[in-house]
Structure 1
């Protein structure tokens, strides 16, 4: 559906050239929710603007639905952009227009007859859950409602791709979850390809099929969300994964516990998919003469199954502990000794 080949963007500044996107190769399949995550300045906003040619690449190619975006004329590019909706962090609504008129705006630009506009707007208002608010103005809406208007407007021309630029960053956690649920619903009902950029791993975890991690204009890691959660390779990715898999106080709590006598070894167990449902602790206690205590843990749900991280302390003879670790690995559960020999 979307292919980026050696895509690069360099900006000229007073302090010299700055490469925001550095020869990125990426493939996004049709119907996929693809997340691009990175901290501020990583280049992700520039990357998403390159997809619809709001930024012109310095080099490389963008292909969407078999169209080479670099080679399109201005007229062809305008037509191609109608097949790509975009939603923004701060909504970008027209404050002097009602909800219905905001949604209708791209249809007016397209020249759609008024009767067809109204029918389409009514469909979209229902789709995004804003029944009864068509005559309201943006100032009368909550943040979540404003973003629903933005989503409806982005869908007005029945696009093949929806681009989301930090679409939930300005929202509270509960509203964020409702907007993410809406995006999943739209993805499933319309088979819409969604590309979203974010600095929040919770967003990736909740709705994405695939994720790419950006740092300094580069894609440093990518893959299915569960695979990246299970075995993050780059330090940057590990930091993001910890946002949703480990309580903030984990490291400090473990350090204090380890200072006590008799705490033994501390293991971190990582469960992925169906593994999170195994009665592993019960099996260990039944099979081995060791004592084991759960210190902290958290299970997060991804689109493709649960991901869990569990910290336990284990006491017993060294040989038995080694056998326990081997047994855990036999159950297809990742295990790492985080404290103790």
Structure 2
């Protein structure tokens, strides 16, 4: 569906050349939700804007739905962009137009007749859950409702691809989740390919099938979301994974517990897929002469299954404790000893 080959983007500034995207190869499959995550300045916004030629690459090729985007004539590019919808962090709505008029705007530009415009707008209003708000103006809507209008407008021309440029960054957590649920619903109903950029691993965890991690204009790691959670390779990726699996309060709580000399051996257990539902702690207590205390734990859902991280303390004589740790590893559960070696 989308292929990037040796894509690069260099900006000329008064202080010299700045490389925003550096020699990236990337393939995104039809119908998948693909995330690009990175901190500010990583180059992710420039990357996504090159998919529809809002930014022309300095080097390399961009193909979307079999069409080479760079090098097109202005007319061909306008036609190709109708296959690519885009939503933005700050909505970019027309404030003097109603919800229905905002959604209809791309259809007006395309020259669709009024009757077909009205029919399509009604379909989209229902799809994004804005029934009864078609006559409202953006100033009368909540942030989540504004983004729903933005999504409906982006879908007006039945695109094959939807680009999401930090689409939930301006929203509160509950509203963010509702918008992410809507995107998943749209992906399933329409078979739409969705590419989103974000700096929040929660967004990646909740809806993406695959993810690329960007740093300094390069993709430093990519893969299935569940695999990235399970075995992050790069330091940058590990930082993002910790946003979801190890909140700051977990680290602070564990540091406080380490001051207790009787805490024993502290393990971080990582469960993936069906393993996250297993009664592992019960099995350990039944089979080994050890005491197990659960310090903190969390199970998260990804599009490909469950991911769980559990911190436990095991106390007892060295031999049964070692045997218990060996037993855990034999169950295909990843174990990291973080205290008490």
Distance 2:255 2:133 in 1: 53
Does 1:168 pair with 2:174? Answer: no
Structure 1 residues 26-57: Cα deviation after superposition (integer angstroms, max 9, x where no partner) = 11100000000011111000000000011110
Distance 1:50 1:255 in 2: 45
Distance 1:328 1:36 in 2: 34
Does 1:119 pair with 2:130? Answer: no
Deviation at 1:326, TM superposition (A): 1.8
Does 1:263 pair with 2:269? Answer: no
Aligned length: 341
2:70 partner SS: helix
Deviation at 1:287, TM superposition (A): 1.2
Deviation at 1:126, TM superposition (A): 0.6
Deviation at 1:332, TM superposition (A): 1.3
Structure 2: runs of 5 or more not aligned: none
Match of 2:293 in 1: 293
Write the mapping of 1:88-107 to structure 2, written as runs, cut at 5 A: 88-107=88-107
Distance 2:178 2:303 in 1: 15
What TM-score, normalized by structure 2, do the two folds share?
A: 0.98
2:133 partner SS: coil
Structure 1 residues 42-74: Cα deviation after superposition (integer angstroms, max 9, x where no partner) = 100000000001111010111111111123221
Distance 2:325 2:29 in 1: 38
Deviation at 1:116, TM superposition (A): 0.5
Distance 1:247 1:35 in 2: 21
1:70 partner SS: coil
What TM-score, normalized by structure 1, do the two folds share?
A: 0.98
Match of 1:186 in 2: 186
Does 1:254 pair with 2:251? Answer: no
Distance 1:140 1:253 in 2: 43
Structure 1: runs of 5 or more not aligned: none
Deviation at 1:318, TM superposition (A): 2.3
Distance 2:21 2:326 in 1: 43
Write the mapping of 1:1-341 to structure 2, written as runs, cut at 5 A: 1-341=1-341
RMSD (Å) for aligned C-alpha atoms: 0.9
Distance 2:198 2:235 in 1: 18
